[in-house]
Structure 1
């Protein structure tokens, strides 16, 4: 990921929050035959206390051939995307001064890179899906748990998935939020995006204000 110094984000607590907030990640690995990289969209659960940067857990359908590619590659990159929005030149006060402005896109992203392990053991798979389910169900008034389903049914479902464990060795964080613009231009972008009817635009304004 191209990451100029002005946009680099190295604070561990900020990177972890971006990863936790992402509802869906993208895991990418090299193709075993040297072809185009393989990629799968999937939710990933971060376990912060495992390893120097944490460990990611997820699962894919056994029918998805990417798990074999992951096993062959041995390394993978998980991509987490945060708030993003188009930035119009009209939001910059400097446009009125010299017109030397162009559109851009503000966004937040984290890439987690490390060795990947494929899991087929039923007990470990059960733990992976249980953790993911518990995290997603936590806000509900009556959370559903994997143990609510019949044991035999769950066992049969586990045979159709493969677990993915990525132990993070490298974390790359990027918050491209107009840091390369003047304070006046940044304020103009915040005001413009905050006034937008699109929740995604307003989320970027909030990220810019958070610093």
Structure 2
């Protein structure tokens, strides 16, 4: 993705925080015509023993996404964090234009289909553990026949992360506007308030200690 160096977060912990906080991500495969084929799916990110990352998810069997990944395993995943408009009124001078601040993570992945019942069951356990651990007992109580029926209706996906980029765009290069930006975002909607929290975490607000965000 287009990512100016001043907005690139190189600390993987920042990327993991965003990916886990915003797990409903867009998976873009390449279809038979060479065009992007995109599905939004709930995902779980797992750190591997070799210091790599694996993303787990699944799609409905009628979704052609898995067939595209079977034919062309290299794909991209986009995790979209908080984002919001910012008015040029935050600057002390008038020769400014509006902007849009945002946080996101984009991964290049190699996909493997998870098709055996045991592997799909293990994948679902990961998703349940991440999103609603209490549901595990209810899932087990539904019985083997029902579970198998549900498992046949999905195709699991193991996405091994080959590379990633993490964007943290908070107008770091415009310190004269940070106080006004923070005030506006703090009083705004949920997306804007989340950006205000990230401004504090990145040390862009006077009087707040700096946490390492790789910028």
| Same fold (TM > 0.5) | yes
Please list, as runs of the form range in 1=range in 2, the aligned pairs for 1:14-33 lying within 5 A after superposition: 14-33=14-33
For the structure 1 residues 113 and 165, does the alpha-carbon distance in structure 2 shift closer, same or farther, using more than 3 Å as the test? same
**1:176 matches 2:175:** no
For the structure 1 residues 26 and 51, does the alpha-carbon distance in structure 2 shift closer, same or farther, using more than 3 Å as the test? farther
Q: Following TM superposition, by how much is the alpha carbon of 1:52 offset from its aligned partner in structure 2, in angstroms?
A: 3.7
Map Cα deviations across residues 46-74 of structure 1 (whole Å, 9 max, x no partner): 11125443100100000101110011111
Q: Which moved more, 1:129-138 or 1:57-66?
A: 129-138
- Match of residue 4 from structure 2: 4
Map Cα deviations across residues 152-198 of structure 1 (whole Å, 9 max, x no partner): 101100000000111011011100111121x22012111111012x1
- Match of residue 120 from structure 1: 115
Distance 1:164 1:60 in 2: 8
TM-score with structure 1 length normalisation? Answer: 0.91
Secondary structure of the structure 2 residue equivalent to 1:203: helix
Q: Following TM superposition, by how much is the alpha carbon of 1:150 offset from its aligned partner in structure 2, in angstroms?
A: 1.5
**1:161 matches 2:160:** no
Q: For structure 2, list consecutive stretches of 5 or more residues without a partner in the other structure.
A: 203-215
TM-score with structure 2 length normalisation? Answer: 0.89
- Match of residue 207 from structure 2: none
- Match of residue 85 from structure 1: 84
CA contact (8 A) 1:57 1:164 kept: yes
- Match of residue 56 from structure 2: 57
For the structure 1 residues 79 and 50, does the alpha-carbon distance in structure 2 shift closer, same or farther, using more than 3 Å as the test? farther
CA contact (8 A) 2:23 2:44 kept: no
Distance 1:180 1:105 in 2: 14
- Two-structure CA RMSD over aligned residues (Å): 1.2
- Match of residue 13 from structure 1: 13
